[in-house]
Structure 1
Amino acid sequence: MPNSKLLLIGVAPLALVAAAPAMAASADAAPQAATAATTSAAADEGDGGIILVTARHRAETSQAVPISLSVLSGEHIDRTGSFNIGRIQQLTPTLQFYSQNPRNTSLNIRGLGSPLGLTNDGIEQGVGIYVDDVYYARVASATFDFLDVDRVEVLRGPQGTLYGKNTTAGAVDITTRAPTFDFSARAEASVGNYGFNQFKGAVSGPLSDKVAVRFALSSTNRNGTVYNQATGHSINGQNNIGGRAQVLWKPSDSVKFTLSGDWSRQNPECCGLVYARVGTTQRAANRQYAQLASTLGYTVPSTNPFDRIADLDTPLRALNESGGLSLKAEIDTGLGKVTSITGWRFWHWDPSSDRDYLGLPITTVSQNPSQQHQYSEEVRLAHEGKRIDFTVGAFGFYQQVRTQGLQVQGSAASKWLLKPTTSASACYNTNCLDGLTSTNNIALDNASAALYGQLTWKVTDKLSIQPGLRLNYDWKSGHYNSTVTNAAGNSVQFSANNTAAELDQLSQLAPEQFDARYSAWNFSYDVTASYAVTRDIHTYGSYAHTFKSGGVNLNGVPADSSGAPLLQYATVLPEAVDHFEAGVKTQFLGRRVTFNLDAYRTEIHNYQASVNNGQQSALRGYVANAGLVRVQGFEWDLSVRPSSRINAYFNGAYNDAKYVRFTNAPCPPELSGGSSGATASPAGTAGGVSPTSCDISGQRLPGVSKLTLSYGAEGNLPASVFGKSGEVYAGVDGSYRSAFSSNPSPSAYTWVDGYTLTNFRIGFRTDHGFDIYGWVRNAFGTNYFEQLSVASGNTGLIVGQLGDPRTYGATVRASF
């Protein structure tokens, strides 16, 4: 694959512009576009139980689509305060979102998508994120506040024959509100505790009878929820701002072009983890956390993590900036709708973190600023006929990522990280890790191209068969270069004459340089059969054979005794996925009740898992292939609307996700850090013998709860306030998830206990777009961890990312 960009951005839309008059002249009168859904997981009153979606690139009811999906309307998102993907996971039981910071973010569906706890530029994400049909290559760009969202569709299971970028776990399809030819405006302001304030606004209207525009703004600020004793500041707050502008040109009823631009920035003092607990590893007793802290005279400010106190002595920064432009062309022809989506996006990340998580100068600088630019082009044709529907498309993508890493060890590093010794000249006693610096330069060029399509054959009015095909090419070129210098600025390298001090330095920060390339063609397919038992009972079954692209490791790889990189670990094989699913979608009692149920089983060969070279002294995290993973379970969605005054929902998922075969996995902390030997000691034996790897076959995948639930209800009564007619309403939304493992290899120390979150709201809204209400989130003050992590050094220290405490406030919204 040449280094020149894969795409000629703009060629396809310009071709469509040139062809538009001729196409429009011959096009049949196209039906008016369907109105976006005004419903959600809890269908609102007045919708007749009908939710319109565009999951298959044509407007149809969600009940008729033979795909397992959840639909969240913009209204429900606004009312529940779910203003980003992290919060909507409380409304969609099979969506998992983990984020220690924007770059270290994982988005999974049914436990599949990307490895938990490790960001690697050279590895693909398994869950596709689309905003107005533009693919977002970095999950970090999805951590921003939603901007003027109309609806969010969460599609579960492989979607590679339906969407431009191959996605093996599912897709999150976000549709924003479009420009309108009638003037409209909406504004929302919220205030709350912890200094919370949020403003969202949008205005839309015509410039002429063929051109309309829409502008939207969003701003969110909140003080931190953790007090950092070292600086006297609260940390882990919010400082977000964003905007979007759209111009719609509609020269005829069958032709329209939408030019969109957006920009968002986050700049909080973030992201700090707190002391959670300590467990015993197999290090020598004098190298475990308690003894090390005593030797250095250190006391953690609180051993109760829910005191929300940290003492992080490294400046925290999480500057996250993203934006882009897109041009979407849509032309209705006699054959179908032709759509072209051209996109350019950027993502800039400028962090600073306290990698040792303590108020000790162990690692005094940890920064990995990164810059990404991506270009994409997708062209598709969607046809609807009496007996045959089809969607065919072509997709091209190019991404460039450049990262500059910097890590500096501090004055406590030698005592914390090295073995004690009586030698006066040893690094432990001379403190030769102080000032040791690693500088990394990482580059990735990533391109892919695909042809895809799905056909729906309506065998009868009730039975449909839907096969799909995808031909895909992926190419990745990565470069990794890490240099190490001591406090005097002199290079530290492997040689035959390394001193004992240099070997100690190299055991902690090792220089390494390598290039890695990956390229492959892949062919995938799926088939779905659906049958409409009645107008309101639809059944379906599907099978998909697909893949997740291979990649390159760009966090460093294990090295031999001479420091040479072991290049067999530089590339990662693609995942091979076999997916089975069956479901039924039903409505009854005059469509007042909707109940959908589906069951699934996914088997993944060469699963891409997070590992580390625990047998090496210089610890490196990277991605390698596990033998076989299996995920299976069932999901249900239930919504009830007995009248226009009451609606309720109860959604859930049972998910059994495990490693079927992973015999050479990294060991959990309780089996790590000891000496080498033929027979491993029992877990947690201080000074014991550790295995070089562990067999975790049969154990749970990280981040997956066996049972997750979301539920809620809202009721209203007619009322008049200050002469304004409307309704008083009260609502509740809750979620539950059972315990889950928070470490790639399950550890007794990193299981997160199950928890329940409950949110309330009460307010008054008029018939003319005015709404005022009070709200409380996590109303019962549940203390919970979003994630637990093993601190570096394998001292037994476990740190945690805290979930939000109880928050409360009020919101005023108006639209006209």
Structure 2
Amino acid sequence: MSLAVLKGVLLLAASPQVFAAAEPPRVPVPVASSATAEEGKEPEAQQGGDITVTARRREENVQQVPIAVSVVSGATLDAQGTYNISRLTQLTPTLQFYSQNPRNTFINIRGIGAPFGLTNDGFEQGVGIYIDDVYYNRIASATLDFVDVERIETLRGPQGTLYGKNTTAGAINITTRAPSFDFEGKAEVSVGNLDFKQGKVSVSGPLSENLATRLSATVTDRRGTLYNTRTGQYIQSQDSVGVRGSLLWKVKPDLDITLSGDWNLQDPICCAFSYGSYGPTQRVANRQYPALVSYFPGYAVPSTNPYDRLTDVDAQLRARNEHGGLSARLVWEIDGANTLTSITAWRYWDWQPANDRDYTGLPVYTKVNNPTKQDQYTQELRYNHQGNGFDLTLGLFGFHQKIRTSGIQETGTAASKWLLNPTSALSNNPAVLNNVLALNDIRLDNTSVAAFGKLNWEVTDRFTVSPGIRINYDKKDGLYNSVVTGTASNGTRQVVSAVPGSPSYNDPWTAAQRGIQASQFFEPKFSAWNASYDLNLRYEVARDINVYATYARAFKTGGINLNGVPADANGAPILAAATIKPEKVDHFEAGIKTQFWDRRATFNLTGFWTDIKDFQANVSNGQFGTVRGYLANAEKVRSRGFEADFSVRPSARFNAYASGAFTDAEYVKFCDAPPPPELSGGTTLPATGPCTFSGTVSAPGTSGGNSPPFVDASGQDLPGVSKWAFSWGAEANKEGRLFGEGGQFYVGYDGSYRSDWSSNPTPSIYTQVEGYSIHNFRAGFRTGKFDLFGWIRNAFDQDYIDLLLAGTGGNTGLIAAQVGDPRTFGGTVKLNF
């Protein structure tokens, strides 16, 4: 069955006509803030405001969990149109999400989590993503649309003494709805402008007295927001389909086995950038963007205003992202005090891209693609014991990942003029760089095993001490083999080698090609044991007032560079740059969690301070020899700040919420950071040591000036994080009747704001993204049978930027822009049965 046919079937299955005669559920579903009750329960004002989470691998009231955690129910996600992790950031102020495409996706919490600006298979994420206890190692494999979600818990701070994979910044814990032994189902259809269409359907019920199943599917389709004038089509579209199934087998009253499987496909026309701006660099003037464009008479970008949402990229575009997997979850309640849990899972990821990495309509690079396949296997075993005045969790975790990337980079007929010095006669000969081809074989075998434990000891009925420990072993074996070939001056194809004396090394054409890219081979390896630990203290000041404090010593495992490394004077890869050291994290946190007004109101406040030594960052320096970008360690980074969350439900007729965060995340010491665009491209001054060089750096943007091999970024902000971020909203409802049915008329509003932030690994005057706010509205009528509402997102059509980056070469002065969504609007129909 073709994808188009499958999507059509799912949209039809979710259409209102199919379930027009369906039986209603038992109660209407109220929608509230991120502290809302779970679907199907009474509103908070009536049930005491208790929200149960499993953030610490056991059920407990979120107000008694001594860590910073945000909880969003499935009902809230549906009401606000939050159907993927990207949109979750509007509800969680300290969560940041950036995506050029699924593979080049980064998730940070409090400004830390993943190196910004470089995708590399050889490092770990600092933010763990779990769906039904299964760890998703690649962020690209977690960019699926949510379906049948019960709740999402976002935990801030290091996690590892309770979670399968060690993470230093936090974890996103997604729980889907379990199979039910009562027949139930729901269907949902949304339509909107930009040809937006989305359908969701879920059915659950018994197969026998001890077997129950749940089947869910979702499909999303939307026209692109960026128009390509060269091809006459809209790009940056949404085109995804996902199915998920689970089978619950109650083997006996104390033993449950749940088998789950899912398959997801995203295949949009994507991804490209529009022209953002021009910022002078230190390249000579005849090699900067205005001069380069002038070498191609008749060429001009379709618009210099990024908010016109126009581009003219000429290379093929593709972002096919397929992923799925199987899991088995066994829960054995040995007795009233002991429980054994086992989670076995396999996941795969198949990434098939096509990109235009020169961001122009000129054939500079015709291909820069890295198709990737991954297989991931995980096994987690947890033992929980509930004792008299204490409870204990012990766990074992095993992880193995195999990644194979077959990359290709190819230059076109415009490459000679664009990439070579125009004072050279070779720049006027398209044949010199045309069809310079790099075929990359990149491999990673990654194994991790760990043992962890957490104790909660009730010293008194008010004071609880919770120490935890983790022992971890990681082993990475990699291979990077890039074979570059080009046409020599005699018309033969030759390997472009960086090794002096190699065949055709002195050929002028080959020498020019070597300046763009040369062959390289190395096999990096890393292995290490690590220990981490934490201590949580919680004191119940009064019935609904808890204070807590946390110290955690965590780590993020070391990594290997799998995007190439600098070469020495003899052309050999410098293996000292092939591995990166583990991050060492000292994390302090203190907070207060309160409820008052008969638990109608909740207010939580958290302060945090995180120091990271050997922070894994993107660098570009000349301390080893050739200037090249790769992963390395910044000496020290700090993230500190505070977070506040408030929600109130004075009655079943009204609820509101507000969350805010101040985050001061900066490089404490980073003396060999990559130069920003305004200081790059000139004559590179010679490095005299790890963080020293000789000569005088020219003023920023000085054409033909002197550029540093690196800069001291100490004291500057980390990329991707706003100092201030807020989210807020409210909903009011009134009882009434529509279509002869009794229910609730309601209106809701949700807003978010973030201040300006740096979109470059080292802060640049050209890539500082301005702050912005987004405002969303919804209004409708709901009963136990149906929910009918209209919505408008980015209601005031705010122009904003998702991402800015320096164009090809990083020093031509071209700044490419990824523009955020314009105003969108539409309607949704939900049916329950």
With the shorter chain as reference, the TM-score category is: over 0.9
- Alignment map for 1:139-158 (pairs within 5 Å): 139-158=139-158
Distance of aligned partners of 1:507 and 1:286 in 2 relative to their CA distance in 1, 3 Å threshold: same
Secondary structure, aligned partner of 2:394: strand
Whether the 8 Å contact between 2:566 and 2:625 is mirrored in structure 1 is: no
Q: Aligned partners of 2:113 and 2:272: how far apart in 1? A: 25
Whether the 8 Å contact between 2:326 and 2:345 is mirrored in structure 1 is: yes
Count of aligned positions: 778
> 1:527 matched to which residue of 2?
535
> 1:313 matched to which residue of 2?
314
1:126 aligns to 2:126 (yes or no)? yes
1:796 aligns to 2:813 (yes or no)? yes
Distance of aligned partners of 1:529 and 1:37 in 2 relative to their CA distance in 1, 3 Å threshold: farther
Whether the 8 Å contact between 1:239 and 1:268 is mirrored in structure 2 is: yes
The equivalent position to 1:745 in structure 2, one of 762, 766, 770, is: 762
Q: Aligned partners of 2:684 and 2:164: how far apart in 1? A: 49
| % identity of equivalent residues | 56
Q: Deviations over 1:719-770 (max 9, x none)?
A: 101210001000001100000000000000000000000000000001x141
Q: Aligned partners of 2:76 and 2:255: how far apart in 1? A: 31
Q: CA RMSD in A?
A: 1.5
> 2:198 matched to which residue of 1?
198
Distance of aligned partners of 1:404 and 1:618 in 2 relative to their CA distance in 1, 3 Å threshold: farther
Secondary structure, aligned partner of 1:415: helix
TM-score by structure 2 length? 0.92
Q: Aligned partners of 1:777 and 1:617: how far apart in 2? A: 50
The equivalent position to 1:699 in structure 2, one of 716, 719, 733, is: 716
- Alignment map for 1:410-425 (pairs within 5 Å): 410-421=412-423, 424=425
Q: Aligned partners of 2:493 and 2:71: how far apart in 1? A: 56
> 1:322 matched to which residue of 2?
323
> 2:177 matched to which residue of 1?
177
Distance of aligned partners of 1:80 and 1:95 in 2 relative to their CA distance in 1, 3 Å threshold: same
> 2:496 matched to which residue of 1?
492
> 1:463 matched to which residue of 2?
463
**Shift of residue 359 of structure 1?**
0.2
Q: Aligned partners of 1:798 and 1:431: how far apart in 2? A: 28
1:709 aligns to 2:726 (yes or no)? yes
Q: Aligned partners of 1:114 and 1:173: how far apart in 2? A: 18
**Shift of residue 615 of structure 1?**
8.2
Q: Aligned partners of 1:738 and 1:596: how far apart in 2? A: 22
> 1:24 matched to which residue of 2?
none
> 1:780 matched to which residue of 2?
796
**Shift of residue 420 of structure 1?**
1.7
> 1:33 matched to which residue of 2?
none
Q: Aligned partners of 2:72 and 2:629: how far apart in 1? A: 36
1:664 aligns to 2:672 (yes or no)? yes
Q: Deviations over 1:654-701 (max 9, x none)?
A: 000000000011100100000134111011101101111100100000
AA at the equivalent of 1:348: D
Q: Deviations over 1:245-303 (max 9, x none)?
A: 10000122211000000000000000111100000000001111011111222211100
Q: Deviations over 1:744-797 (max 9, x none)?
A: 00000000000000000000001x141000000100000111110111221000
AA at the equivalent of 1:385: G
> 1:55 matched to which residue of 2?
55
- Alignment map for 1:205-604 (pairs within 5 Å): 205-297=205-297, 298-334=299-335, 335-421=337-423, 424=425, 426=426, 428-429=428-429, 431-487=431-487, 489-494=493-498, 495-496=500-501, 497-604=505-612
Whether the 8 Å contact between 1:507 and 1:618 is mirrored in structure 2 is: no
Secondary structure, aligned partner of 2:286: helix
**Shift of residue 490 of structure 1?**
2.7
**Shift of residue 815 of structure 1?**
1.2
Whether the 8 Å contact between 2:587 and 2:611 is mirrored in structure 1 is: yes
Whether the 8 Å contact between 1:42 and 1:712 is mirrored in structure 2 is: no
Whether the 8 Å contact between 1:363 and 1:410 is mirrored in structure 2 is: yes
Q: Aligned partners of 1:252 and 1:61: how far apart in 2? A: 28
AA at the equivalent of 1:565: P
Q: Aligned partners of 2:31 and 2:583: how far apart in 1? A: 38
**Shift of residue 393 of structure 1?**
0.2
Gaps of 5+ in 2: 1-28, 686-694
Q: Aligned partners of 1:614 and 1:765: how far apart in 2? A: 63
**Shift of residue 43 of structure 1?**
2.5
Whether the 8 Å contact between 2:32 and 2:655 is mirrored in structure 1 is: no
Q: Aligned partners of 1:617 and 1:570: how far apart in 2? A: 14
Gaps of 5+ in 1: 1-35
Secondary structure, aligned partner of 2:77: helix
Whether the 8 Å contact between 2:471 and 2:532 is mirrored in structure 1 is: yes
Q: Aligned partners of 2:213 and 2:87: how far apart in 1? A: 29
Q: Aligned partners of 1:417 and 1:615: how far apart in 2? A: 24
Q: Deviations over 1:428-472 (max 9, x none)?
A: 546401111111000000000000010011000000000000000
Whether the 8 Å contact between 1:605 and 1:627 is mirrored in structure 2 is: yes
The equivalent position to 1:41 in structure 2, one of 19, 23, 34, is: 34
Q: Aligned partners of 2:156 and 2:206: how far apart in 1? A: 37
> 2:787 matched to which residue of 1?
771
Distance of aligned partners of 1:278 and 1:618 in 2 relative to their CA distance in 1, 3 Å threshold: farther
Q: Deviations over 1:496-546 (max 9, x none)?
A: 342232221001011100000000000111101100111100110010011
Whether the 8 Å contact between 1:543 and 1:581 is mirrored in structure 2 is: yes
Whether the 8 Å contact between 1:269 and 1:318 is mirrored in structure 2 is: yes
Q: Deviations over 1:90-120 (max 9, x none)?
A: 0000111111000000011111110112111
1:685 aligns to 2:702 (yes or no)? yes
AA at the equivalent of 1:71: V
Q: Aligned partners of 1:615 and 1:450: how far apart in 2? A: 36
Secondary structure, aligned partner of 1:773: strand
Secondary structure, aligned partner of 1:508: coil
